[in-house]
Amino acid sequence: MLNKHEGFHSVLMVWATLVVSSEQHTANISSSFFSDNRPFKAYANSTKIVETLLKHYDKRIRPGVKGSPVEVRVDMYVANIWAMEEVKMEFTIDIYLRQYWRDERLAFGHLTSDPLLTLSSNINKQIWVPSTYFLKTKKAYFHDVTTENYLLQIRPNGSIFYSIRLTITASCTLDLRRFPHDTQLCTLALESYGYQTTDVWYAWNPRDDNTSAIFVNNEVELPQFELVKVEKEAVINKYNIGNHSSLVAMFKMKRRIGYFLIDTYVPSTIIVIISWISFWINPDTAPARVALGITTVLTMTTLISSARASLPKVSYVKAIDWYLLLCLIFVFGSILEYTFIAFMINVRNKSKRKPSVDSEWGDGSKKQEERTEFLSLFTPKCSPRRGNALKRVFSQAETDSLGVESKTFPEKTEREKWYFISNPHTIDRCSRIGFPLTFFAFNCIYWLVHSKGST
C-alpha cells in the first residue's frame, strides 16, 4: 500500500511540475512578445502625453495672456478659382488655409523625445485656436468628405500647425468701364474676429522653399480670365472697439477676349457689312432696301440685348456698349441714306410735273388789259361812285391772290434748292466708299485705345 501511495504521489508531483513549467513558459513567451512590440508602449505613451497636456488646459485663454500678442503666421495654397459672376459681383475660391502659432502650454519636450505629435481633427475643439474669419464673404463651408479636412500637428516646443480646407464665395467689386478689355482685382482678406492687435497679430509666413506665402496651383484655369499675378499685404483695420490685424491676398485677373470676339464683335461687324448691300440695290426697288435696313436694325438690337443680359445693370457705359452703339448707328445710317435718296427722287419727279407761273398767268401787260376789260363790263356810267368801289374790291382781290401765289411758287429755280442733286445715284456711289472707310477708321481707333489700356 505504501508503495502504491508513493507511486501516486510521485505521479502527481511530476504532473504539477509539468504544469508549472508550462505556465512559466507561456508567461515568458507573452512577456517577450509585449516587450518586442513597442507600439503598445508608444500608444500608451502618446495617450499619456495628450492627457497630461490637456489636464489643466483652459482653451478660453489665449497663449501668453499676460505677455505680448500671439503671432499667427499664415500661408495658403490656392487649389482652384472658380469662374467669376459679373451679375452678382462675386468669385469662388478653394484654398488650404494654414496657420502657425506657439502655445507654451502644449510643449511636450520634457515628456518624450518624439519630434512631432499629430492629432485627430476634433482636438481643435479642446485647445485654443485663433478666431480667424474672412471679410466680404457671402458664403463659405468646410469640407468633410470622407472625413473633416483638418490637420493639427504639435512640436515639442509647443509650436502648432493648423490646416483647414475651405471653399469661399467672396464679393469682388468690378469696374466694367473697359469691359471686355478689363483687368479686375479681387481681394480675399482675413482677420481675427474677437481679438485686437494687443492680443493677436497676423503675419504672412515665408515658405520653406522660399516661394510666396500664397501658392497657386499650376493647373488653375479660369474660363474667361487669366491670373496675371498675386500680391499680398498686411494692414490694420480700425474699428470702434479697437484695431484688428488683417492679411489681404489680391488676385489680379485679366479678361480673355476670345469669347466676346466670337459671340459679339464678329457678328456685329458682319451685320454692319450686310447693311451696306443696300447701296448696290436700285433706289427704285424700295421694298428690298427697306426690308434689308429694318432686318439689320432688328438684328443689332437683339445682339445688344443678348450682350447685356449677362452683365450687371450699371449706370456707366461700357466699352462693348460703345462698339455696339456705333454699329447700330452705321446700320441705321444706311436706312437714312436711302430715305434721303427717295426724298430727292420724289421732289425731282414733282418738279418736272409742276406748271410754271408765267404760263398760268401770262405776262404783266396782258393781265392788265384783261383786268381793265373785265372791270369795264361792271362799271355803270351813271354811278361813278359804285364803279370806283368795284375797282378797289377787284384790285385788292388781285393783290391778295398774287401775294398768295408768290408765297406758294417763289421765283426760284430748282438748281438753287439745297437738296437738289442732278443724279441721286451719286449718294449711293459715295456711300459705297464713305461708310466702309468711316467704319474702318472707327475700328482702328477703338482697338488701338483698348489694346493700350489692357496692357
Q: With 60 as the cut, is the pLDDT of residue 38 above it? A: no
- For each of the domains in the chain, give its residue range(s) and CATH number, in order of start: 47-255 (2.70.170.10), 259-347+431-452 (1.20.58.390)
pLDDT tens for each residue of 212-222: 899 999 999 88
C-alpha to C-alpha distance for 128 and 137, rounded to whole angstroms = 24
Which of 7-16, 46-55, 173-182, 194-203 is predicted least confidently?
7-16
Arithmetic mean of pLDDT over the chain? 81
Any idea which residue has 364803279 for its cell? 387
117 φ, ψ (degrees, to nearest 5): -130, 110
C-alpha to C-alpha distance for 77 and 147, rounded to whole angstroms = 20
Buried b (16+ CB within 10 A) or exposed e, 166-200: bbbbbebebebebbbbbbbebbbbbbbeebbbebb
**pTM > 0.85: yes or no:** no
pLDDT tens for each residue of 337-357: 999 998 888 887 777 776 554
C-alpha to C-alpha distance for 71 and 197, rounded to whole angstroms = 10
Q: What is the pLDDT of residue 21?
A: 58
Any idea which residue has 502650454 for its cell? 105
Any idea which residue has 445682339 for its cell? 303
Which residues are CB-neighbours of 137 under 8 A, at least 6 positions away? 168, 169, 170, 171
Average pLDDT over residues 132-150: 91
C-alpha to C-alpha distance for 53 and 104, rounded to whole angstroms = 10
DSSP type of residue 305: H
pLDDT tens for each residue of 114-125: 888 888 777 888
Pick from 36-50, 141-155, 236-250, 412-426 the range whose average pLDDT is largest.
236-250
Q: How would you classify the pairing of strands 70-81 and 200-204?
A: parallel
- Between 374 and 226, the more confident residue is 226
Beta strand extents in 147-240 (DSSP E only):
150-154, 159-171, 183-192, 200-204, 214-216, 225-238
Q: What is the pLDDT of residue 424?
A: 74
Confidence of residue 231 (pLDDT cuts 50, 70, 90): very high
pLDDT tens for each residue of 315-324: 999 999 999 9
Q: With 60 as the cut, is the pLDDT of residue 34 above it? A: no
Q: What is the pLDDT of residue 361?
A: 46
β-bridge partners, 85? 90
Confidence of residue 176 (pLDDT cuts 50, 70, 90): very high
Under a CB-based contact definition with an 8 Å cutoff, are residues 443 and 330 in contact?
no
Q: What is the pLDDT of residue 395?
A: 54
Q: With 90 as the cut, is the pLDDT of residue 5 above it? A: no
Q: What is the pLDDT of residue 385?
A: 54
Confidence of residue 409 (pLDDT cuts 50, 70, 90): very low
CA distances from 51 to 35, 45, 47, 126, 273 (A): 24, 10, 6, 11, 81
Q: How would you classify the pairing of strands 70-81 and 132-134?
A: unpaired
Q: What is the pLDDT of residue 410?
A: 47
Q: What is the pLDDT of residue 209?
A: 66
Which of 309-313, 321-325, 443-447 is predicted least confidently?
309-313
Which residues are CB-neighbours of 409 under 8 A, at least 6 positions away? 357
Positive or negative: CA dihedral 70, 73, 79, 81:
positive
**Identity of residue 195:** Y
Q: What is the pLDDT of residue 453?
A: 61
**Percentage of residues in the chain having pLDDT higher than 90:** 53
Residue 355: strand, helix, or coil: coil
Average pLDDT over residues 256-269: 95
Under a CB-based contact definition with an 8 Å cutoff, are residues 76 and 57 in contact?
no
C-alpha to C-alpha distance for 312 and 379, rounded to whole angstroms = 87
Q: What is the pLDDT of residue 207?
A: 74
Q: What is the pLDDT of residue 146?
A: 86
Residue 45: strand, helix, or coil: helix
Q: What is the pLDDT of residue 397?
A: 52
